Structure 1
Amino acid sequence: MNLRIYLTAQWQDAASSCAWALLDDTGNVRESGSGTLASMPHSDDATVIVSSERVLATTAVLPRIKRSKLETALPFALEDALIDDVSEVHVTPGAKLQDGRTVLYTLNKNWLARFLAASTAAKVRVRHVVPEFCLLPTRAGEWSVAWDGAQGFLATTHSLGGALDSSDDAHAPVSLQLRLQQGAPAALRLFALGSEVQAPNWGLGVPVIYEKQTIDWRKAPIPGDVPNLLWGKLAPPPRISEFLPWLRPALMAALLLFGVEVGTSNLEWALLANEKRHLTHEMTETFQETFGSDATIVDAPLQMRRNLARLRHAAGLIDDADFSPMLDKFAAASGSVTGNTLRTLRYADGKLDIEMALTNAAALDKLQQRIAETGLTAQVMDKRDAGGALTVQLRVSAGGVK
């Protein structure tokens, strides 16, 4: 849903009324009414149509300055055309013309800021502010006029336009006559503001084409090149959806890289898993060839080590997991670490359970490294820091990395 608000010169503060309309995604009016901002439906995407009498549209040649300083400099470019002080106007740049001039739109800054503050307080977040005359469709070389029988507004070219003074069907508005004296178009297209408006007989010397189409600010399409008067310091904060056209290529590239990474990782995992199955199969075959094909195999490497230890013992040889070689290796490793105190030592099933005191964590890291260098593996089962000394419980077994 999109909320449209018609803002006229009569609006002064939050107690003032405005006409509003709630449009669905297809542009059809679902609800409409008139009231204060607080009485309107809450909206995060409101569009304000500013009456033509509140917007001054003109052109000027702008100096070449940085964009960061443009907002401050723009009012001075129109100083001779303004009635208000330059500090009281908000100027928005529009299209740049072929002759070097830039279209400029001027509003009273304090009035607009007051309206935006009241809108925010009423939970109506304004995203666009559009001049009313920009709703008029125009054609190349022609002007368009919206008329209700007594007053209206004009749209020329390049989204320029303005309000027309009061008149009647027999006399053209003075402001329109003055504009025609400066340069007449090939034709005037007249759009009615209401269903009972008759074609005026102005006798301007310019062909007037009466369009059957009426202009209704509530549902008139807003052209894509229409300027948003919320510019500079009054611009609304950007939304993520506005960056999607620029972010989409980067997101697609990131998604592609992620897919390649996932595919590569899965391929590597599949290769490693296949290699593991191949090695396990080879170890199983080797075990069966050595100890008989009728042997029950649960963990081939572990069973191989145990059977090998039994064979070594039967032959009178010492195995790496026996108490004596393990104790010798541990003693050699711990001897290189100063400040250690052995408290308890227990041997069972080819493992040494050791409790000892070390000076600090660095000594523990060094001890584990020295144990690994002897071909043993040291697993920390418990670790406590008591009174500046580190008490650790280690489980040492055969099978470390030299």
Structure 2
Amino acid sequence: MRPRLIVHLTGDPDTPLSWRCLDAQGSPMAAPEGETLAAAARERRVLALAPGTEVLTTRVHIPVRGRQRVAQAVPWALEDQLSEDVDALHFAIGERDAEGMVHVAVVSEQALAAWREQLDDAGVQAEDIYPDYLALPRHEHAWTILVDDHRAWVRTGLQTGFACDADALALFLEAALTEAGDDAPPRLVVYLSETATLQLPEVAPEPERYRVSDPLAVFAEHLDSRHAIGLRPASWGGASQAHRWWRTWRAAAVLLAAVIIADTGHAWLQRWQLAATAEEQQAAIARIFGDTFPEAGTPVYPRRQMESRLAALRSGDDTPSGGMLPLLAQLTPGLANERIELTALAYRGGGLEIQVSAPDLQVLDALKQRLTGEGLTVEVRSARNERDHVIGRLTVEGEA
């Protein structure tokens, strides 16, 4: 592994940069006396740490996959949670956790520009910039805290944390523990500078305390770039014409994509609905065919077979009483009673078997009399009471 140089950026351009050198094994090493930051950076891999007070890390549910698509969706997913315009912010995408939530780091474009200027003024090109609290050591089932005289840093997860003034640590930590709820850690691991004091809220678990002589060395030794969210924009080194075009037309492009997706989705939905309707109609035809011609068995092509059977009935083939349709023509006037409902019909052996629903037996008997008066032979096969109506099954035949 190459020796590394860890540079701690500041939020104040008048404050000099702090930096530490690490050897190839990742252990702190003293820089040669009088060596400048630019000289130390020549033979080393340079990584920068951003002040955590200016970086928000959070998690957001993004259902789409693919890093580019996630990056496009994140600003709009977080827009309502941010006080600044998303166009003034830079969103760095982290890892997706076991719950499917995407880790995101948010920083203002203005802060990034200031940090770039600090590095340029120092003659340093950093491979990437990471929130400083994500360089704290991680401990199993614990949050890690580092406190010096003025500042406190808290790492709450693999890619989450925050920084605040040391005097406000108890307030911020209480809010974070309350928000975590059941996911709050059972322990805290706290690193204190030699002169720092620790104030914790009552809800905090008893901490494990360690004194450190060099807080920046703690960051430098434990920075793991594989699991920290890099903030360095891809556009650093000169924004391309395509990048500038995208920033100008991004909103219109997103709107156009949304319209295309919605239109395509609507077309597919219509196609699915039509296919489902066609299947339902085919099933209905098969049921009607089976009810009307039970002796025909299961139809292979129900529509064609129904048309063929109906054509045969119209011609009167194989029917002793003139066919189904003439018989239906005689039956229909007798059923013209709003108190009678035809619920089933089947044609067998030249006669009709019908099932009707009537308010009472008198109405059913009146139906039989009307049909008999039409010259039909009617036999009531069965009649049963069901709640407030009578279900009757009748056999109707034409004149022999």
TM value normalised by structure 1: 0.49
Larger Rg: 1
